[in-house]
Amino acid sequence: MPRTPDPIEDGLGSLPPPPPVFHVEQALLGALLLEPHRAAGLTGITVEAFSTAGHAALLTAIRSLPAPEPAEHAKTTTWLNQVLTAAGEQTRGLTTAYLHHLIHCCPQPHHAPAYARIIEAEHSRRLLRGAAHRLIQTTLDTSLPHRVATTLAEAGTLTTIVDDIATRFPTRSGPLPRTPATTPVTTHDEEAGEEERLLLATTTARPVSVERMRWLIPGDFTHTLHAGLWQCLTTLTRRGTPIDPVTVLWEAQHHGIAETAEPRELLGLLSEPDGCDPEHWGEQILQRSLLTTAHHTGRRIEKLTDDPATTTYQLVVGARRALADLSAVRVRWHHATTPPQANAPASKGISAPPRAGPAPTTAPPVACIPR
């Protein structure tokens, strides 16, 4: 009689053992094969929740056939044969012996709802992992025409999945998730450094733009020195202190930044502006920060799902924490790329120069103004 291959008995030691949820699936299917009437009470589980095509085909077949009378089912295998035939039309490899094996794998048929709940929880983990992986890949895909918009759309999909999991698995008391040990991906390429240097020099020459760029923070910069100098510029602006390379250098000394670079080097960095709108460079920096944050968010959630000790409750809490960091950057990106409202108060009656930067869903064009 044909049988389902057993990796252990057949000496396939190189194959990894099935995960615990595989055995839970076997127990649930065994319960339904032994007591088919229990399938009517399992409304929350779908065939997509099963880890193998064979198990999914069996659940579909069980649901598609009317449940037999218990007394008749106890005496004949007619219904089991019908299930095997229906499932065999969807996938290969299922045998009568495997159906009997599933029945023997079920400790308690009346525990079927608990088995289904476990399978749903593991399916939620796989959905979350897949969405996090797609977010990571999107942040790295430089061929996308609207990279930021696509990244934010993937983040929205990920948020929807988290919310759906939270709805189906209500919050209960328990330990908070462990923070996964991930290394933030920080871009230190020459292009990023050059954009940051141009922003610092241009805003030093035209400091009125610093006040309009409250959406940019030191954490958006890839270089520690540049982040510190931006903090100096925002501090001087807040105080109303005159801004030029010398005053920024003096403020840098108070921030301990002057110790990391020669004064002449800092003066040179701050004294070479270009003709572009400072906000153009600011949006470039913020865009890179948003993509980096989205990438790190995806990796944090992926790490959570990879840890089998993480419960469904902990997955929801951990994922929402990670998404909150991305949401904060997204709010600032919205402020940066949305035109100011008509009723926004003007600064001392002087209208701001035209913005040169990207639309919310496109990479910023290089638009410069004469010096």
For residue 134, what are its two tokens?
Answer: 């797609």
Does residue 275 register a pLDDT over 80? no
Homologous superfamily of the 123-339+354-371 domain (CATH): DNAb Helicase; Chain A (1.10.860.10)
260 vs 117: which has the higher pLDDT: 117
Distance CA 252, CA 247 (A): 9
Q: Residue 347's beta-bridge partner residues?
A: 350
Interval 28-81: pLDDT, tens: 999 999 999 999 989 889 999 999 999 999 999 999 999 999 999 989 999 999
89 secondary structure, DSSP code = T
- Per-chain mean pLDDT for the chain: 86
Helices 20-34 + 96-104 axis angle, to 10: 100
Q: Average the pLDDT over each of 195-199, 261-265, 324-328 and give the range with the smallest value.
A: 261-265
Structure tokens at 211: 């006040």
Please tell me the distance from the alpha carbon of residue 248 to that of residue 231, in angstroms, as a whole number: 10
Residues 6 or more apart whose Cβ sits within 8 Å of residue 22: 51, 52
Which burial class, exposed, middle or buried, applies to 86 when counting CB atoms under 10 A from its CB (0-12, 13-18, 19+)? middle
Residue boundaries of the structural domains of the chain: 20-107, 123-339+354-371
Query: Interior CA angle at 116 toward 118 and 301, to 5°?
Result: 35
Residue 344 has pLDDT above 90, yes or no: no
Would you say how long the chain is, in residues?
Answer: 371
CA atoms of 298 and 301, how far apart (whole Å): 5
Distance separating alpha carbons of residues 213 and 282, to the nearest angstrom: 8
What pLDDT, on the 0 to 100 scale, is given for residue 361?
A: 43
Rounded Cα distance between 338 and 212, Å, is 12
pLDDT digits (tens, 9 = 90+) for 129-143: 999 999 999 999 999
Q: Tokens 């990106």 belong to which residue?
A: 333
Close Cβ partners of 11 (under 8 Å, ≥ 6 residues apart): none
Please identify which residue in the block is written with the tokens 């600032």.
332
**pLDDT surpasses 70 at 5:** no
pLDDT: which is higher, 82 or 356? 82
Confidence of residue 260 (pLDDT cuts 50, 70, 90): confident
- For residue 145, give both structure tokens: 């025409």
